[in-house]
């Protein structure tokens, strides 16, 4: 048969019509769509959250020292949402990203389920009875061998009943080794004690300030009580108050400020005194304050000799005219206030720096004045009877305390036989948050008994010999004292909004039960049935108020405080003696020409808690990409060292080195390498860990001679090509 | 016409975000995720595939140190009205999975109708829509915190901000039960508005002259909702998408950047 044009067309046409009429095309389309929908396996069944009765439960958030009120929405027994507590005095309905992610900490797989013990390097689940009996037995042995003073404890803070119970337990055992994580509150209290004779907390009446001078304080990056600060900023926008941010980096605070002044890092105290120089020189200071204060002439002399605008300009990198203008604007403002505390303002600051800022506030009459800096005695509601001590305890307490945590780490590392034989860590994560984390790890390895009281499997729990699972903050009662820069301190009451997990205990109950397993006076020091009983007894008549209202707030002043000018008096002596000098960072300039600083962000939790997945999601891809962290450098710095955006580099400091990527930022002073704090967790799991590098692995402690506190804020660094 | 039925004037819910107050803290993003059962994965650093109904963008003025400035800009779904409800995404959806509700002004997304063609994502000039590239998997125990008022989404569908429509439904149910007529301003607020520590987000009915959103944005409803407040603006105004999210900034470069064409935008 001959295939001519006509039959060819008929064949093709017929075929086409036939195919179109057949189910083939439909079948193929169906197959393709099924394939496209299942090429990664069959879709899973999407969960249908069960319905139920909705209710709201008030409590207080304890994820940071801010102490915001929260309201937890529940559907039957499930907590489904955390919202800000309306009308709560600290946050008034607002809430931060970390607080909103709290349920992920409650329900996440990173909770410690049961008491665990490390045996030959492997974890073994044990019962509470066994865990507490074994620990109590080891403590008894230490006490009998005259080593009572080697029992130590670490708490996040020394405020509130839970740290107080731990401290009491140590005292009853016969040890003074109670440590708190380094905090700026200590610097503030010490500065006020030196200059005003009586220790007090430092509070700020930001809501009524008209000019806020922030010396590298990340007022909107987590400083103080973060939600309150953000609300105060909104108020400044309404009232026209001015915010001037002096900081090496264009942080969120600097971005929102009316003026950003880039300063060489570590020279904030110098600037404060330089401003004081101009204020005194031009007679812009408050005469009454000067008359009532001690050593004003010495102060004048110091300012005149050491802090001339020319010298200050050279040190800080800020031009003289800008310094002059800033000083005048500050002094002439109706209600100015100067504030310090780098970044989130949690870590201690050099004593002379805090005193310089206190002096600057004093000179313009802003101490205990509307819109200024307030000194207030912390709320003092824990008045327990002193425990009765046995001979062992009395002898143990004669041995002196080591003091601060970084000294303890250093001492343990140096000693042949560790001066700490048993260590309790209560809801703190020193293995992650202390500077130079590897020395912390080696110290912990040398301590024969490390007990971690924790809700989460964090870095410290990983190093411990025993891990005791705690109720999460949403599952328990606790008093939450908030200073955090508030003008009027508040004590909130956290209340259980969710049923506690099986096998978890309240940290207070852990201490009470452990004491109960010990002999004689240690057990006798704790007369309460359980923690709730202790809490009720502590508040006494105030329990009704706090459990109904959710908080207690006591103004430490009478109503007439604003007019009492004498309260502004100050002794400049201690500042003059120290000549305003602050410690210098580690690393010699030849080997380490750059300066590494850690920075804080509202989206990353940099303290004891890991950043929950929701918060991690908000972190930009030029901060974390895959598992790499980006460091910010000025394009000029990048030019000097030959780096391009996105390139890998090795960041080396005297303490350690890490692989990082380069992010070019115009919002940073040249010569600085800025790295986000709070990344690089190794514990938890892939949702939280394995992202970037922990800044504490690169920055070592820097002791401030004046206060003995670790005031490291940075370190010498260099960037090398990979 | 369908959408003119009923006696009462329809609602037109919208938002005003004060960029002078926004500090970029990220609360709105997390409040949204937690309220709306947004899924999450171990690595969320690929931002094109990371689902964030509410996303805070960081704008810079492009100037060199030390004249650099930063502004944060939260971006929910704009719930564009377009021309009489012809939003860019609604116009292209072949499945009617997304629709413009004339009684509320909310652009809906019906997950069970969506078959994942992603035309809407291509059409949306605000990148407000997200595709579920993966099965949503919650780690052990975490399903407990899912909100029953919002259905979790399956792999292969598009999702986006709904202005917390379930909160509107709950408020309307309450209204009905109590036999009232008018929704109070505070009865229906989105999760992001409620959480914002700065109070930078205001939400309400743009058709109601008593609502704060109306007073802040002063929308000219006869002329495509253009704001009369000189410091108020919308993103990509010139596209005519008629979005219902207004922004407010006292900085000129920010307002200019909103038209996404700094070089060619003349000073207003």
- Which one, of A563, A569, A585, lies nearest residue A700 by Cα? A585
> A42 pLDDT band (50/70/90 cuts)?
confident
**Which residue is closest to B132 within chain A, CA to CA?**
A43
CB B232 within 8 A of CB B216: yes
Instruction: Supply the pLDDT for residue A558.
Output: 42
Average pLDDT over residues A319-330: 97
- Which one, of B45, B20, B173, lies nearest residue A626 by Cα? B45
Instruction: Supply the pLDDT for residue B261.
Output: 56
SS3 A302: helix
Residue A313 has pLDDT above 80, yes or no: yes
The per-residue pLDDT for range A674-691, each reduced to its tens digit, is: 999 999 999 988 899 999
Q: Using the CB atoms, write b or e for B163-199: b if 16+ within 10 Å.
A: bbbbbbeebeeebeeeeeeebebeebbbbbbbbbbbb
Does A46 sit within 8 Å of B152, measured CB to CB?
Answer: yes
The per-residue pLDDT for range A423-444, each reduced to its tens digit, is: 999 999 999 999 999 999 999 9
Q: Does A80 touch chain B (CB under 8 A)?
A: yes
Instruction: Supply the pLDDT for residue A198.
Output: 84
Average pLDDT over residues A408-415: 95
Check whether the bond before B66 is cis (ω within 30° of 0).
Answer: yes
Closest to A634 (Cβ–Cβ): which among B65, B143, B146? B65
Burial class (CB in 10 A: 0-12, 13-18, 19+), B85: middle
Instruction: Supply the pLDDT for residue A289.
Output: 83
Question: Which neighbouring-strand residues pair with B56?
Answer: B74
Instruction: Supply the pLDDT for residue A562.
Output: 39
Instruction: Supply the pLDDT for residue A484.
Output: 83
Query: B186 contacts in A (CB within 8 Å)?
Result: none
**Which residue is closest to A685 within chain B, CA to CA?**
B42
Chain A residues 212-241 with a CB less than 8 Å from chain B: 220, 226-227, 230-231, 233-234, 237
CA distance A231 to chain B (A): 5
**Which residue is closest to B156 within chain A, CA to CA?**
A37
Q: How much is the ipTM here? A: 0.94
Q: Does B199 touch chain A (CB under 8 A)?
A: yes
Does B148 sit within 8 Å of A95, measured CB to CB?
Answer: no
**Residue bearing the bigger pLDDT, A42 or A384:** A384
CB A656 within 8 A of CB A689: no
Average pLDDT over residues A216-221: 96
The encoded tokens of residue A68 equal 């915001």
**Which residue is closest to B154 within chain A, CA to CA?**
A46
> A199 pLDDT band (50/70/90 cuts)?
confident
Long-range contacts of B5-11 (CB under 8 A, 24+ apart): B6/B103, B8/B181, B9/B207, B10/B102, B10/B103, B10/B104, B10/B105, B10/B207, B11/B103, B11/B104, B11/B105, B11/B183, B11/B205, B11/B207, B11/B208
Instruction: Supply the pLDDT for residue A248.
Output: 97
Mutate to test the interface with A, among B17, B20, B23 (most CBs of A within 10 A): B23
The encoded tokens of residue A325 equal 């203008």
Question: What whole-number distance in Å separates Cα of residue A131 and Cα of residue A650?
Answer: 44
Enumerate residue ranges in chain B where pLDDT < 50. 1-5, 264-268
Average pLDDT over residues A595-603: 96
CA distance A83 to chain B (A): 7
> A557 pLDDT band (50/70/90 cuts)?
very low
Instruction: Supply the pLDDT for residue A1.
Output: 67
Does B43 sit within 8 Å of A635, measured CB to CB?
Answer: no
Query: B194 contacts in A (CB within 8 Å)?
Result: 83-84, 93
Instruction: Supply the pLDDT for residue A520.
Output: 84
The encoded tokens of residue A577 equal 């003696």
Percent share of chain A, pLDDT over 70: 98
């Amino acid at each position: 048969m001959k295939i001519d044009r006509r039959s060819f067309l008929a064949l093709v046409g017929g075929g086409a019509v036939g195919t179109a009429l057949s189910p083939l095309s439909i079948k193929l389309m169906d197959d393709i769509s099924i394939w496209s929908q299942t090429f990664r396996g069959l879709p899973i069944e999407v969960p249908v959250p069960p319905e139920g009765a909705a209710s709201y439960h008030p409590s207080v958030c304890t994820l940071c020292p801010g102490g915001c009120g929260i309201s937890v929405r529940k559907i039957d027994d499930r907590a489904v949402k955390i919202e800000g507590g309306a009308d709560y005095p600290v946050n008034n309905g607002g809430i931060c990203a970390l607080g909103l992610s709290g349920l992920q900490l409650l329900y996440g797989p990173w909770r410690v389920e049961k008491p665990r013990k490390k045996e030959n390097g492997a974890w073994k689940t044990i019962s509470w009875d066994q865990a507490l009996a074994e620990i109590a037995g080891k403590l008894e042995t230490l006490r009998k061998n005259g080593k009572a003073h080697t029992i130590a404890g670490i708490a996040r803070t020394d405020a509130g009943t839970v740290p107080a119970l731990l401290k009491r337990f140590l005292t009853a055992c016969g040890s003074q080794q109670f440590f708190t994580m380094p905090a700026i509150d200590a610097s503030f209290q010490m500065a006020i004690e030196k200059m005003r004779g009586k220790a007090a907390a430092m509070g700020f009446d930001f809501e009524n300030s008209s000019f806020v001078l922030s010396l590298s304080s990340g007022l909107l990056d987590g400083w103080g009580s973060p939600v309150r600060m953000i609300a105060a900023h909104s108020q400044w926008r309404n009232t026209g108050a001015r915010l001037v941010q002096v900081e090496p980096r264009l942080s969120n605070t600097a971005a929102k400020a009316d003026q950003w002044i880039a300063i060489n890092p570590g020279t904030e105290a110098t600037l404060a005194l330089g401003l004081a120089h101009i204020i005194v020189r031009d007679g812009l200071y408050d005469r009454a304050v000067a008359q009532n204060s001690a050593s004003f002439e010495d102060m004048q002399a110091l300012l005149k000799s050491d802090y001339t605008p020319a010298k200050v300009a050279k040190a800080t990198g800020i031009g003289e005219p800008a310094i002059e203008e800033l000083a005048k604007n500050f002094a002439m403002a109706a209600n100015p206030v100067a504030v310090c505390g780098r970044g989130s303002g949690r870590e201690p600051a050099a004593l002379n720096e805090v005193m310089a800022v206190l002096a600057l506030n004093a000179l313009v009459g802003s101490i205990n004045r509307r819109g200024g800096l307030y000194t207030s005695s912390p709320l003092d509601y824990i008045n327990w009877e002193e425990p009765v001590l046995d001979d062992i305890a009395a002898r143990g307490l004669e041995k002196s305390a080591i003091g601060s945590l970084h000294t303890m780490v250093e001492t343990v590392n140096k000693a042949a036989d560790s001066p700490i034989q048993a260590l309790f860590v209560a809801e703190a994560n020193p293995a992650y948050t202390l500077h130079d984390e590897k020395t912390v790890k080696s110290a912990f390895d040398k301590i024969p008994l490390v007990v971690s009281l924790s809700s989460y499997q964090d870095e410290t729990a990983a190093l411990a010999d025993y891990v005791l699972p705690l109720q999460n903050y949403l599952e328990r009662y606790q008093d939450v004292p908030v200073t955090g820069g508030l003008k009027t301190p508040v004590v909130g009451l956290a209340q259980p909004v969710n049923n506690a997990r099986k096998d978890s205990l309240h940290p207070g109950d852990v201490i009470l039960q452990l004491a109960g397993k010990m002999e004689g006076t240690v057990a006798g020091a704790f007369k309460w049935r359980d923690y709730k009983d202790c809490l009720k007894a502590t508040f006494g008549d105030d329990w009704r108020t706090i459990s109904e209202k959710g908080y207690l707030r006591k103004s430490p002043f009478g109503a007439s405080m604003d007019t009492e000018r004498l309260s502004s008096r100050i002794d400049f002596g201690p500042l003059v003696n120290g000549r305003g000098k602050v410690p210098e960072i580690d690393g010699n300039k030849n080997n380490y020409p750059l300066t590494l600083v850690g920075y804080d962000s509202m989206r990353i939790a940099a303290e004891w808690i890991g950043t929950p997945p929701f918060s991690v999601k908000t972190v930009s891809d030029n901060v974390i990409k895959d598992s790499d962290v980006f460091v910010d450098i000025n394009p000029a710095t990048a030019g000097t060292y030959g780096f391009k955006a996105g390139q890998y580099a090795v960041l080396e400091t005297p303490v350690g080195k890490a692989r990082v990527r380069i992010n070019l930022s115009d919002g940073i002073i040249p010569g600085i390498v800025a790295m986000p704090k709070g990344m690089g967790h190794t514990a938890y799991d892939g949702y939280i860990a394995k992202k970037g590098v922990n800044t504490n692995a690169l920055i070592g402690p820097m002791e401030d001679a004046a206060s003995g506190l670790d005031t490291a804020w940075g370190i010498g660094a260099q960037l090398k090509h990979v | 016409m369908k959408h003119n039925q009923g006696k009462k004037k329809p609602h037109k819910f919208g938002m005003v975000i004060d960029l002078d107050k926004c500090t970029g803290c990220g609360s709105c993003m997390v409040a949204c995720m937690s309220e709306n059962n947004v899924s999450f994965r171990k690595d969320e650093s690929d931002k094109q595939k990371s689902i964030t109904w509410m996303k805070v963008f960081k704008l810079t003025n492009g100037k060199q140190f030390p004249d650099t400035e930063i502004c944060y800009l939260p971006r929910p779904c704009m719930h564009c009205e377009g021309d009489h409800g012809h939003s860019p995404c609604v116009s292209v959806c072949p499945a009617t999975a997304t629709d413009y509700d004339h009684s509320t002004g909310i652009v809906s997304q019906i997950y069970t109708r969506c078959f994942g063609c992603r035309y809407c994502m291509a059409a949306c000039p605000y990148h407000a829509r997200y595709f579920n590239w993966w099965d949503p998997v919650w780690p052990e125990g975490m399903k407990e915190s899912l909100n029953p008022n919002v259905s979790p989404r399956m792999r292969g569908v598009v999702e986006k901000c709904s202005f917390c429509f379930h909160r509107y439904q709950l408020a309307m149910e309450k209204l009905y039960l109590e036999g009232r007529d008018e929704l109070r301003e505070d009865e229906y607020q989105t999760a992001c508005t409620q959480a914002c520590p700065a109070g930078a987000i205001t939400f309400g009915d743009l058709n109601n002259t008593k609502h704060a959103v109306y007073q802040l944005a002063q929308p000219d409803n006869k002329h495509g909702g253009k704001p009369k407040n000189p410091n108020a603006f919308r993103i990509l105004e010139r596209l005519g998408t008629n979005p219902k999210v207004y922004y407010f900034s006292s900085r000129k470069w920010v307002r200019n950047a909103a038209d996404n064409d700094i070089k060619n935008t003349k000073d207003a």
